[in-house]
Amino acid sequence: MHNLHTIYEKLVEFFGYQRWWPTFSKNKKEKFIEICVGAILTQNTAWKQVETAIKKLREKNLLNQEKLEKVSFAELSSLIKNTGFYKEKARKIKAFINFLKKNPYEKLKRLKLEEVRKKLLSVYGIGNETADAILLYALDKPSFVIDNYTKRVFSRLLGIDFKSYEEWKDFFESNVKKDTFIYKEFHALIDELAKNYCKKKPICKGCPLNDLCKKNFK
């Protein structure tokens, strides 16, 4: 077994707890909507762009199911334009809001993880990564999120190279305690490492995992 918990603990010690997903909303249902919309908007774009778009939606009081259902496609597209592929993302948000009419937050919370995941993956524009982000951060279900940062870091760190998303997901879920808090923190910490050290052009000096890395770029 790969000791992923040692890696997790080193990252916590170095970066501290990240407390993801960052939200503006306080109301439980609106927080759910904000995280789900954010998970769609973050596809192929930086989080800073998502924060800007979320702020615009919040200023227009659109971060709730009913308002997003009624807002015009043109207005929604305009508000999220800075995230890129904005018309496509507007369609995805509309499709997700339509999905919620038959599958409200309360129902999704009650269902088993795999059942919810299957439902989410049937929605237009919701792929594996987005589905797992919604499961983990919006519904507090232990489903590990695999993103490109995770693949980059662990292909270098451990020399692994799985071909499919499911193989990556199974690797983490088989080697990390099935705990929602740990899954959230580990994913956020991996992203923090990738943004600051394990970049496309890595900065190995000062990296907290330097002593464990198989592909050291020194």
CB distance 109 to 136 below 8 Å: no
pLDDT at site 215 = 73
Q: Supply the pLDDT for residue 2.
A: 58
In this predicted structure, the answer to whether residue 148 has a pLDDT above a threshold of 60 is yes
Average pLDDT over residues 87-107: 97
Residue type, 217: F
Average pLDDT, the chain: 95
* Chain position carrying tokens 């990556």: 168
Q: What is the pLDDT of residue 203?
A: 94
Domains, the chain, in order of start with CATH, read: 4-18+144-212 (1.10.1670.10), 28-138 (1.10.340.30)
Place 75 in a pLDDT band, splitting at 50, 70 and 90.
Answer: very high
Q: How confident is the model at residue 201 (pLDDT cuts 50, 70, 90)?
A: very high
Helix, coil or strand: residue 120? helix
pLDDT confidence band for 26 (50 / 70 / 90): confident
Report pLDDT for 192: 97
The CA distance from 43 to 131, in Å, is: 12
**What's the pLDDT at 138?**
97
User: Any alpha helices (H) in the chain, and if so which ranges?
Assistant: 4-15, 28-41, 47-59, 65-70, 73-79, 86-102, 105-110, 113-121, 128-133, 148-157, 165-175, 180-196
**Over residues 160-181, mean pLDDT:** 96
CB count within 10 Å of CB 200 equals: 6
- Reduce the secondary structure of 82-111 to three states and give it as a string: HHCCHHHHHHHHHHHHHHHHHCCHHHHHHC
Q: Measure the CA angle with vertex 56, ends 50 and 62; round to 5°.
A: 105
Residue 208 vs residues 13, 14, 117: alpha-carbon distances, Å:
9, 7, 34
Work out the average pLDDT over 11-20: 97
Share of residues in the chain with pLDDT > 90 (%): 89
Distances (CA, A) of 143 to 44, 46, 114: 21, 22, 9
pTM: 0.94
Q: What whole-number distance in Å separates Cα of residue 165 and Cα of residue 171? A: 10
Q: Which carries the bigger pLDDT value, residue 119 or residue 212?
A: 119
